Amino acid sequence: MDNIKVIIPNGKLFGDVIKNVSRYDTRRVDLVIGIGYSSSIQKAYEVVKKILNDDERVLSDPAPQIAVSELADSSVNLVVRPWVKTPDYWDTKFDLTRKVKEAFDENGIEIPFPQVVMHSAQADS
């Protein structure tokens, strides 16, 4: 798909797992999107659901999945998993990522960046 010729030694064919991403007619897009702890999970769900519903490439069957996957250090991580036709995979993945960022900005949903809080201890004199 990226115009790179791949040569696989026979040993790899017999000893490793081979993933064929173009074998089936449909493919699941897996996005992980972090929102700030002060942002509304429900509002984020609604915004993402609207984006998925408005994109004609996103299939209704199987239904897209939106769920909280992790309470991470700097964000509440949502997984967004729509299904698309295999040829639409990359364009849809890139477009959805952009649309989510823009829609979150418009709706005041924070996408935090990783941060570290450091505390320094002072020695008693």
Rounded-to-10 torsion of CA 87, 63, 108, 112? -70
Instruction: Give the per-residue pLDDT at 66.
Output: 98
What domains sit in the chain, N to C, each tagged with a CATH number? 25-106 (3.30.70.100)
Instruction: Give the per-residue pLDDT at 42.
Output: 98
The residues, any chain, with a CB within 8 Å of residue 75's CB and separated by 6 or more, are: 34, 35, 36, 37, 111, 112
Pairwise CA distance, residues 40 & 38, whole Å? 7
The whole model's pTM is what?
A: 0.81
Instruction: Give the per-residue pLDDT at 6.
Output: 77
The dihedral sign for the CA sequence 32, 35, 41, 44: negative
Q: Quick one: angle between helices 41-54 and 89-106, nearest 10?
A: 140
Q: What is the mean pLDDT of each run of 10 residues along the chain (125 residues)?
A: 75 78 91 97 98 98 97 95 97 98 97 81 73
